[in-house]
Structures are given as C-alpha cells and as structure tokens.
C-alpha cells in the first residue's frame, strides 16, 4: 500500500510542468520596458523553481520513506532475537585501579560488563576473559548468566600487567567453540597504550567478518599519579650497625604536577619520610639512609601518599640484615706461604683489620681450596670468588650454575693455573646458559720494557661497581703484564665490559638468571699485574662483592604474577612450606597461610604461584624442629604505571577487525549494541529531514515571491 | 448643438453627461475654455450668440430680464466669445496604440477623448483641428468650428486604424512647423518614443507660445502586466517577440514603467506642458472632468 504513495512524487513534477506550459502569445504595445528588465531576475527565479521542485520531491520522498520505517542493518546482522554468544574481555590490569571521581575504572568496566550480560536473553551464552588471567586456557561460554553475573560482581582488579593479544586469543577461542548464529566480542579497557602492542598484528584475520567487536572505553585521563617504578639498596650490604642506602625512582605519569610525601617503612613501621614534588612527565630519584639495628630478615616498603592510582605508590623490598656479609673464596693456588696464596690479597682487602686488630669490614670471608668447593652450601654465601681455580668439575659447575641463576654472585679471577678450555666448556658450554661473560682465549703478555704491562684504557665509571668510587680509581699506574684474551659469545647480550686494557678487556660482567658473574681476565695477586698494590684495589674489590652480592637480595624481589621459587637445602624428609600473604592489603589477613606447598624428600625447591598481590610475602618451614623463614617482595610491573592512552579509533584500526565499534563509555554501550544487533532506525531521521525540507521550501518560496 | 449622425466615438449621452455635470463641472468646462483664453487672448469683445436656460448660480449680469418679463421664463445670454482660440488635437495612431485589454484599445480611447474634446471646443465656438500621426502625419483636418466639423472628424476617426511604428518626435516637429498661429495643442499618445526627442518636439510647440496638453494614454495592462507564467509578447509595432516570465519580472517592469511616466511628468512640468497620465479603464468622461477640474485650479 505504501508503494502506491510513491506516485505522489509525480504531483510536484506535474505542477512544475503545468506551470511551465507553453507560453501564451500576448500582443503588446511595446517591448521597450520588458527589454529594460534585469534578466538576472528571471534566471534567479528559474533556479529557485528548480530548488523548490527538488525540495518538494525530497520532502515527499522523505515522508514516504519514513512510512516504511526503514532500518540500516550492519554487516553483522543475523536477524532479530537470534541466540548470541558474547565474550567479554575485561581489562583487570592495575592501571584500571585508577580512580576517576572516586570510582575505579575497573568498577566502571564491571558495570559495562554487567550491562552486556543484562542485554542478553535466555538462551544466549557469555564468558568473561580477564586481561590478566593465570589460566592460559580459553574459558567456556555459559548460558548461566546469573551465575556469571555473580562471578563478575566478585571480580577484583588485579595488580598485574598484560597485553591484550593474549586475552583476545582466549576470547576468540571461546567464541569459536560457541554454536550460536551470532557472536559478539567486547573489549572493556582503559586503552592504555602499553596493552596495545604489535602482537595484535598476529590476530589480524582472526576476526570473522560477521562478528562485531565492541571496544568500550572505561578509562579516563588521570590527573595526578606519582609512581614508584624502582627501589633498590645501594651497593652497601645490609649489616646491622652500618648505614644502608635505599634508592627509589619516582615518575609522574599523570597530567598534573604533583607533590606527595614518600615514606620508608620497615616491618610496617614508618622510619623516615621526605616530600617529593614532580612536574608532569618528570622522573626523580629519592634516597634514604638507614641503620639496621638488628640482624634478620626485614620487609620494607617505600610508599607515597594516595593519589588517583594507588597501586603503583608502593615498592616493597626485603633485606637480609646480617652481622656480616659472607663471601666464599676459592683458592686455586694454595701455598704454605700465606702471602703466596692466590687469595691472600683478596682476604686482606675484604677483611681489612683496623690498626688495633678490630675488623671493621662488613664482609666475612671463608677460604676453601678447589676440592672443598662441592662440600660448601653455596646459598649460605652472598658472593663467591674463584681465584686462579684451574678447572671446575661438572658437579661444581652445576652447583655454580644453580647458585648464580638463583641469585648468587660470582667473581672469577684468572691466573696461570686456569684452564681456559675447561672454563669454556663447564661455564659456557653449548646447550647451556653461559655463566662466563666471554670465552677465555689465549694469554697475552706485554713486552718487556722500562714500564712493562698494559694500561687500563677505559673504565665504565657509571657502572654500579665504579660509580661510588670513581674518584678513587686512579688507574694511571696500573699495569697488567698478563691477561687472558676473550672471545665474545654468540649470544653476548647480557655481557658487558667494565674495564678495558690497551689490548683487551680486563673486567667483564654477565647477568645469568637472577645472578651476576664478574670475570677478571687477570690474576688476583701480583703475579700478572699490580692491581693489588694499587689503592683502588680494596674499594674496587668491595664494590664488586657488594654488587654481585646484591643479586642475592633481588632474588626475593618479584613482579606480580611471577611464581616464587624457594630454594631450600636438600631435604631428608618431606616438609610443608607455608606461604603467607602480605600483611597489608584490601582484605584483613588472619595470620593463616594462603598456601601450603609440600616439598618432597630430596626436593630443594618449592614454587609458590599466587603472587597476585604486591607486598612482602613470607615463606616458613621447619626442618627437624629448626624453623626457617624467608621473606620475598612482590611488586607491580612498573611499566603498567605508564598511563599513556591510545586513541580508541587508532586502537580499532590496530585490531584490524572487519567490524569494530568504539563505545565512548559504559553509558552508551547498550545503545550501540542495540543498533548493531537490530539496526539503526531511520524513520525519525527521515521525519526530521522532511521537517527541515519543509522549512527550506518555505524559505525558498518566500524569497522567490519577494523577488 | 444637435447632431443627427451616429458614431461609435460620439455618445451623446456621455457627452451630455459632460455637459450636464453638476454646476461645478459645467463651470469647469466653461472655465476651461475661458481659462484657455485668458493668457494669450485678452480684451476681446463678445457678440450675442444665443439664449440658454438659466441655471442657479449663473452670473445675473447676463440674465435676460426682458425675456423673463415677456415670457416668465428664465434665460441667460450667451455671447459669442472670442473664437480666436485654435485647438489642434494630435492623435497618435501608431501600432502601439492598437493595444488594449477588455476590448478598448488605446487608440479607441484616444478617439473617444478626441471626440469629446472636439465636441467641447465646437460647442464653445472654438476652432479645432485634428492631426492623426504615426511615424508620419497621416491625416490633417484644418481647424474649424462649423457644426459639420465634428461629423467630419468623427468620420475620420472611425476610418483610421492604428498601425506603423512610433516616431512621435519628427511628426510633432512637422506639425509644429505647420501650425502658424499659436493656440492650444492637445496631444493624445502613449509617448513611447525617445523621451528627449519627444520633449524637444513639445518644447517646439512651447517656443511658438502655444499651450500644450498631453494625455499620456496607456492601457492598465501595460503598467500592471497582469499575465502569469511564461508569456510570448508580440510587439504590435515592430512584430518582434520576447518570451518573459511576466510574474517574475512584473515588479521590476513596473518600476521601469513608472520611471518612464515619472520622467515624462517631471520634464513636462519643467517645460510647462500640462501632463495627464490616463489609463483606458478610466471612463474618459470622468477623466476629462477630473482633468478639467484640476485645470481650473491651476488657472
């Protein structure tokens, strides 16, 4: 019936044509006055006639069109009320803990997810896929929407960081398993640029053309946020009675300048504080100096006052405050004459007594020979120094590898007894993570002369080993007569040169696992060089030990989500290890362990998985009645504090989905979804157009008449 | 005056209506004549011509008491006033005068006007002549005031058809050259010609100290342009055509037309030419009476 109305379009055309019927002839007295008339008037009138005709045709067409109640369907339209499976990728990384006007971004995201579930009907299925999920398997979409809603309500924002690509893969896998005709993918996020990485390019082509992807913006620009991105002890060891420096890096990732109080807490007690003021985007370092009164494990925290994102306001650390820093020296060339021992100068430098004989050094050394190395429990030492040890057995090499990768520090001095091939095989053999910074080559010897020996050509003065003693490093008189040349490793990424001679590297470093290896290509005595006779030898050796030993401290510092591996001594019988969550947090801790992990007989390590929250955890166990306790710190990944946003439209392009809709906020979500599912009704727009055309037509007609 | 003949331009009733207008109109008519006579013609004697019935308001100076005593009827004497006045009626018979709506062309209207004026003049014993012109003089009837003169003029009017192009100025100049004595020149035309040339020609009459009256005759349609839609206008003089959306151009056209008339009026006033804009839908006798009344005010 409506189709017949299209015939009404002929009316204005007919009127127009009739109006323009053939001119009638009128005999007239004279054309004189007609010829004087401005022809532009006629031309303007002609144009207006055409405009009027067009306006009237469009007006009628718009009205008739509106009667059809047309809808614009998207490419993903599958029909009204078809069963749907929805996968909701929910950003629960800690940037979502940012608060806008008192409400967390994550709460806003949950609200959006709730609306999505509310918009589903009976028979529809859904699943929620958190960004940061410990389970790599894709979830199962469920038709039990009420239960899913309860799970959603119970969800908490995490402290981790994650890329979007992983969550999308899981969500797409979940949708693929669904059997409903229509599938929808929702991504609710704060559009933190960090999450939108190039890994998303691997997903291009994975999005079906008939599946809409809704990108819901649950975030906002953060005004004020100071983030503690790093905290570490200085190179001083933590010994009771001695000052220990704690350094931390603070970055302002908010839009505004900020000023906050930074406090140092040890075992929950505030021991120091200072004020920090930073402009937006700026970074600064703050330092505290503290004297530990007692030995023992200490859990510490640097904490800023609250701001819009509290999750990055704290940095936890642990400190094993010792009476002394234990260092194991392995004498590779023992001698009955003490001064001829390979470790003579090392012992002297590391345990320098005062004139009165009182040893002031915080380092406690123990010297063993090569054959005794395997009997030592390496974990008891903060640092291991090999001095001219000829070769290492496989067992010893294995122990060393476990020790270093577990966080131990190893310093190697070469000498005339060192077998380079053995070192290269046992410490940098094929198929293994190399401990050596470089392979040992041939011995190079300087030519004889008035001042024989190679000189130190360059020094990494900004390296932690030399940074604090750079002004003491007078290397002018240093001479190295012999040293091992080195051959770079194939994967030399973690190796670096700290000091270089005229003819080759002298001191190299490599990070291996959680530990550090420092290689000196010359000897620790005066046989190959005059380093022990130089004034800088003592502070340099101390700094090396402190630097290598530091890695043991950081072994207990993890990132949220990283499993903690507790190294234990070999067990004679099974032991249960209790893990206790941080004392601070959103939920009250009742003193009960959050996990108990059984360690079997002979097992020397247990793994604790649940490091979802930042803070200082405690692991406790007992062996034969002897209690053991270890603290370890878990911190957020500081990268997540970079709150730089990516434009949602750019993010959609990056995703490469055929149909991607950006939703500005949870409030608009249902409207956008409904339009995508059902289509966009056009009839009201057509009525509006008709109204506008009526106004235009009136205007043109009046202007024409006025002319 | 009684005339037994019939002419379409001679409607005794209408003419009588002019004559029988209220006292004011009659006075105006007479005054018109007297007024015309005043300026150029002074101090002439009048001879008795006839009696006419007394009407209230007539000057008692001319009341014939003797006739009243004899017959008990009231009459006044009418004198043969100065008939030196020579009036020449110039009627435009160009093609543009053939235009008319509602059945009456401008030329026809001009003929009615000419006839009425002729009648008036002859009744007043004035000599009246007629010149019909278009692009040249087509007919010339010398002035006379004989009773048969009206008939002659009316016959000529009936025979004449408007045609030809307008070239008023040369015709007027030629007529002005031919008129040897000053008098009254009455021009009935649409004056659709070069205005400067026309005014030059009118001034030619003025230079001879003749009094000039111009009846600028138009059909109302020529001013109103009451046509809708697309119209193919045909020029009655030249035969040229022009298609125009008359409803579109009407306003602008009227502005141009009014400017034409206004210019003529202004220049006629400046040249002391009596200008009267006339549309053919106005009953000519009414128009003439209005004109005569107006003329009286400016004596």
- Return the CATH number at B161: 3.40.50.410
Would you give the DSSP letter of residue A455?
P
Residue A453: what are its φ and ψ, rounded to 5°? 115, 150
A52: tokens are 């009027």
Q: Quick one: A84-221+645-678 is in which CATH superfamily?
A: von Willebrand factor, type A domain (3.40.50.410)
Return the pLDDT at B10.
61
B57 in any annotated domain: yes
Q: Where are the beta strands (DSSP E) in chain B?
A: 47-53, 75-80, 86-92, 127-133, 137-144, 184-189, 211-218, 230-235, 241-245, 274-279
Class in CATH terms, A558-634: mainly beta
User: Has residue A176 got a pLDDT over 80?
Assistant: yes
Taking the C-alpha atoms of residue A413 and residue A483, their distance in angstroms, rounded to an integer, is 10
pLDDT digits (tens, 9 = 90+) for B133-144: 988 889 999 888
Q: Is residue B214 part of a domain?
A: yes
Candidates B99, B166, B256; nearest CB to A28 = B99
Distance from the Cα of B182 to chain A's closest Cα (Å) equals: 33
pLDDT in tens, A238-275: 777 777 788 899 999 999 999 999 999 998 899 999 99
- For residue B275, give how far its alpha carbon lies from the nearest alpha carbon of chain A (Å): 20
CB B293 within 8 A of CB B24: yes
When CB atoms are compared, the residue of A20, A27, A46 closest to B234 is: A27
CB-based contact A97:A636 (threshold 8 Å): no
Higher pLDDT: B297 or B185? It is: B185
Q: Which residues of A touch B (CB under 8 A)?
A: 19-38, 41-42, 45-46, 707
Model confidence band, residue B199 (pLDDT cutoffs 50, 70, 90): very high
Q: What is the count of residue pairs from A and B with beta carbons less than 8 Å apart?
A: 90
Nearest by CB: B252 against A20, A21, A41: A41
Do B168 and B218 share a domain, yes or no? yes
Q: Where exactly are the structural domains of chain A?
A: 2-22+35-70+683-706, 84-221+645-678, 226-321+637-641, 325-554, 558-634
Q: Which of A515-519, A534-538, B1-5, B85-89 has the lowest mean pLDDT?
A: B1-5
The fraction of chain B above a pLDDT of 90, given in percent, is 19
Of B97, B103, B167, B249, which to mutate for an interface test with A (greatest number of A Cβ within 10 Å)?
Answer: B249
Which member of A29, A31, A34 has the closest CB to residue B190? A29
B5 falls within a domain: no
Q: State how far the Cα of A342 lies from the Cα of A347, in Å rounded to an integer.
A: 10
Sign of CA pseudo-dihedral A700, A702, A703, A704: positive
Length of chain B counted residue by residue:
299
Examine residue B245 and state whether it is found in any structural domain, yes or no. yes
What does CATH list as the number for A325-554? 3.40.50.880
Q: Which of B49, B80, B111 is the last residue of a domain?
A: B80
Residue A32 confidence class, pLDDT cut points 50, 70, 90: confident
Q: Which residue has the tokens 């392009």?
A: A653
Helix, strand and coil content of chain A, in percent to the nearest 5, comes to: 30, 30, 35
Which residues in chain A are contacts of B92 at CB distance < 8 A? none
Q: Given phi > 0 = left and psi -120 to 50 = alpha, else beta, which region is A407?
A: left
pLDDT at B11: 63
Distance from CA of A683 to the nearest CA of B (A): 38
B55 with B95, same domain? no
For an interface test with A, give the residue of B95, B234, B244 to mutate (most A CBs within 10 A).
Answer: B244
Closest residue to B222, CB basis, from A19, A23, A29: A29
**Cross-chain Cβ contact A25/B234 below 8 Å:** yes
Judge: B245–A45 Cβ closer than 8 Å, yes or no: yes
- Is B2 part of a structural domain of the chain? no
Using an 8 Å CB-CB cutoff, list chain B residues near A36.
253, 256
Domain end residue (candidates: B80, B102, B129): B80
Domain A558-634 in the same topology as domain A84-221+645-678? no
- Determine the residue among A36, A37, A44, A45 to mutate to test chain B binding: the one whose Cβ has the most chain B Cβ atoms within 10 Å: A37
pLDDT of residue A110: 95
pLDDT at A391 over 80: yes
Region of residue A593 (left: phi > 0; alpha: psi -120 to 50; beta: else): beta
Residue B118 vs residues A51, A365, A506: alpha-carbon distances, Å: 58, 154, 142
Alpha-carbon distance A32 to nearest alpha carbon in chain B (angstroms): 8
Cβ separation B234–A28 shorter than 8 A: yes
Please answer yes or no on whether A27 and B249 come within 8 Å at the CB atom. Answer: no
In a domain, B288, yes or no: yes
Task: Flag the least confident range among B73-77, B120-124, B159-163.
Answer: B120-124
Judge: A33–B230 Cβ closer than 8 Å, yes or no.
Answer: no
3-class DSSP assignment, residue B155: helix
Judge whether B21 lies within some domain.
Answer: yes
In this structure, the number of other CB atoms found within 10 A of the CB of residue A601 comes to: 10
Query: For residue A636, which of A548, A580, A584, A558 has the smallest C-alpha distance?
Result: A558
Examine the domain organization and report whether B118 and B208 are in the same domain: yes
Residues of chain A positioned with their CB less than 8 A from the CB of B260: 33
Q: Quick one: B42 and B134 in the same domain?
A: no
- Residues near B297 by beta carbon (within 8 Å), at least 6 away in sequence: none
Q: Give the model confidence (pLDDT) of A126-140 as tens digits.
A: 999 998 887 788 899
**Using one digit for the tens of pLDDT, what is the confidence trace for B15-62?**
555 443 333 333 344 444 454 444 332 323 455 656 777 877 777 877
Q: Give the pairing type, strands A325-331 and A363-369.
A: parallel
- B167 and B287 housed in the same domain: yes
CATH placement of domain A226-321+637-641:
2.60.40.10
Contact status of B229 with chain A (Cβ, < 8 Å)? yes
With respect to residue B285, please indicate whether it lies within any of the assigned structural domains: yes
| Interchain pair B234, A38: CB under 8 A | no
Termini Cα distance of chain A: 41
Q: How many domains does chain B have?
A: 2
Would an 8 Å CB–CB cutoff place B135 in contact with chain A? no
Whole-model pTM: value is 0.56
- Do B69 and B122 have their domain in common? no
Domain boundary among B80, B105, B121: B80
d(CA B122, CA B150): 8
Q: What is the pLDDT of residue A552?
A: 55
Asked if B163 has any chain A CB less than 8 Å from its own CB, the reply is no
**Which value does ipTM take for this structure?**
0.72
Q: What range does the domain containing B187 cover?
A: 86-297
B138 and B200 share a domain? yes
Q: Is there a single domain that holds both residue B95 and residue B26?
A: no
By the 10 Å C-beta count (0-12 exposed, 13-18 middle, 19+ buried), B153 is classed as: buried
């Amino acid at each position: 019936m409506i189709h017949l109305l299209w015939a009404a379009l002929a009316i204005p055309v007919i009127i127009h044509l009739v109006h323009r019927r053939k001119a009638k002839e009128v005999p007239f007295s004279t054309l004189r006055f007609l010829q004087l008339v401005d022809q532009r008037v006629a031309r303007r009138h002609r144009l207006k006639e055409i405009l009027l005709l067009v306006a009237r045709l469009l007006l009628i067409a718009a009205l008739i069109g509106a009667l059809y109640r047309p809808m614009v369907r998207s490419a993903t339209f599958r029909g009204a009320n078809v069963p749907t499976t929805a996968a909701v990728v929910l950003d629960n990384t800690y940037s979502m803990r940012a608060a806008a006007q008192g409400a967390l971004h994550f709460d806003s995201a949950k609200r959006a997810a709730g609306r999505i579930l509310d918009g589903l009907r009976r028979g529809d299925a859904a699943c929620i896929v958190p960004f940061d999920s410990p389970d790599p398997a894709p979830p199962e979409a469920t038709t039990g929407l009420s239960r899913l809603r309860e799970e959603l309500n119970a969800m908490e924002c995490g402290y981790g960081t994650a890329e979007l690509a992983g969550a999308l893969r899981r969500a797409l896998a979940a949708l693929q398993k669904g059997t409903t005709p229509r599938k929808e993918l929702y991504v609710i996020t704060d559009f933190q640029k960090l999450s939108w990485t190039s890994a998303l390019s691997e997903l291009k082509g994975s999005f079906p053309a008939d599946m809409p992807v809704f990108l819901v913006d649950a975030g906002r620009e953060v005004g004020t946020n100071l983030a503690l991105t790093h905290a570490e002890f200085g190179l001083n060891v933590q010994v009771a009675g001695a000052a220990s420096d704690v350094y931390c890096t603070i970055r302002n990732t908010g839009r505004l300048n900020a000023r906050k109080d930074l406090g140092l807490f040890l075992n929950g007690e505030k021991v120091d504080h200072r004020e920090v003021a930073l402009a937006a985007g700026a970074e600064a370092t703050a330092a505290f100096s503290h004297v530990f009164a007692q030995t023992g494990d200490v859990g510490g925290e640097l904490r800023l006052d609250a701001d819009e994102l509290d999750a990055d306001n704290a940095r936890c650390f642990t400190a094993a405050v010792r009476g002394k820093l234990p260092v194991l020296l392995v004498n590779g060339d023992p001698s009955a004459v003490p001064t001829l021992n390979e470790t003579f100068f090392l012992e002297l430098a590391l345990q320098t007594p005062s004139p009165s004989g009182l040893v002031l050094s915080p380092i406690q050394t123990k010297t063993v020979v090569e054959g005794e190395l395997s009997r030592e429990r390496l974990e008891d030492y903060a640092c291991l120094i090999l001095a001219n040890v000829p070769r290492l057995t496989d067992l010893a090499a294995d122990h060393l590898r476990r020790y270093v990768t577990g966080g131990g520090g190893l310093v190697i001095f070469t000498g005339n007894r060192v077998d380079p091939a053995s070192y290269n095989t046992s410490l940098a053999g094929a198929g293994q993570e190399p401990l050596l910074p470089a392979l040992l080559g041939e011995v190079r010897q300087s030519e004889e002369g008035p001042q024989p020996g190679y000189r130190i050509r360059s020094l990494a003065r900004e390296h932690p080993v030399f940074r604090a003693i750079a002004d003491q490093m007078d290397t002018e008189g240093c001479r190295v007569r012999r040293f091992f040349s080195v051959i770079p490793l194939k994967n030399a990424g973690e190796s670096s040169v700290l000091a270089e001679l005229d003819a080759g590297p002298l001191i190299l470093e490599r990070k291996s696992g959680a530990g550090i290896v420092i290689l000196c290509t010359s000897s620790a005595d005066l046989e190959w060089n005059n380093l022990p006779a130089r004034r800088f030898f003592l502070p340099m050796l101390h700094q090396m030990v402190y630097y290598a030993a530091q890695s043991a401290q950081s072994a207990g510092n993890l990132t949220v989500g990283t499993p903690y591996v507790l190294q234990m001594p070999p067990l004679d019988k099974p032991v249960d290890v209790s893990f206790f969550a941080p004392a601070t947090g959103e939920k009250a801790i009742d003193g009960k362990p959050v996990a108990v992990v059984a360690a079997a007989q002979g097992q020397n390590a247990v793994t604790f998985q649940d490091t979802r929250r930042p803070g200082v955890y405690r692991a406790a166990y007992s062996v034969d009645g002897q209690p053991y306790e270890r603290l370890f710190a878990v911190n957020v990944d500081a990268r997540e504090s970079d709150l730089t946003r990516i434009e949602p439209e750019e993010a959609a392009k990056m995703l490469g989905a055929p149909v991607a809709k950006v939703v500005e906020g949870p409030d608009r979500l249902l409207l956008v979804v409904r339009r995508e599912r059902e289509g966009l009704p056009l009839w009201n727009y057509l009525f509006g157009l008709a109204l506008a055309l009526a106004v235009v037509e009136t205007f043109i007609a009046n202007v024409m008449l006025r002319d | 005056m009684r005339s037994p003949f019939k002419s379409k331009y001679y409607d005794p009733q209408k003419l009588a209506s002019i004559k029988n207008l209220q006292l004011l109109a009659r006075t105006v008519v007479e005054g018109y004549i007297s007024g015309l006579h005043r300026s150029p013609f002074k101090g002439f004697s009048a001879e008795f011509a006839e009696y006419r019935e007394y009407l209230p308001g007539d000057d008692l100076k001319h009341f014939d008491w003797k006739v009243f005593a004899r017959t008990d009827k009231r009459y006044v004497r009418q004198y043969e006033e100065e008939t030196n006045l020579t009036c020449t009626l110039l009627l435009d018979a160009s093609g543009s005068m053939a235009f008319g709506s509602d059945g009456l062309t401008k030329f026809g209207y001009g003929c009615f006007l000419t006839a009425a004026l002729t009648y008036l003049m002859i009744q007043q014993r004035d000599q009246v002549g007629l010149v019909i012109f278009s692009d040249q003089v087509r007919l010339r009837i010398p002035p006379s005031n004989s009773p048969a003169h009206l008939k002659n003029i009316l016959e000529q009017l009936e025979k004449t058809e408007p045609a030809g192009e307008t070239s008023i100025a040369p015709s007027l100049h030629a007529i002005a050259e031919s008129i040897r004595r000053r008098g009254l020149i009455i021009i009935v035309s649409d004056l659709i010609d070069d205005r400067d040339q026309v005014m030059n020609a009118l001034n030619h009459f003025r230079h001879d100290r003749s009094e000039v009256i111009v009846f600028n005759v138009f059909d109302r349609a020529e001013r109103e342009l009451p046509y809708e839609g697309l119209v193919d206008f045909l020029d009655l003089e030249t035969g040229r055509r022009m298609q125009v959306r008359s409803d579109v151009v009407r306003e602008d056209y009227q502005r141009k037309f009014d400017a034409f008339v206004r210019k003529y009026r202004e220049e006629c006033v400046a040249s002391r030419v009596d200008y009267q804009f006339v549309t053919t839908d106005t009953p000519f006798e009414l128009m003439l009476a209005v004109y005569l009344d107006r003329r009286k005010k400016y004596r």
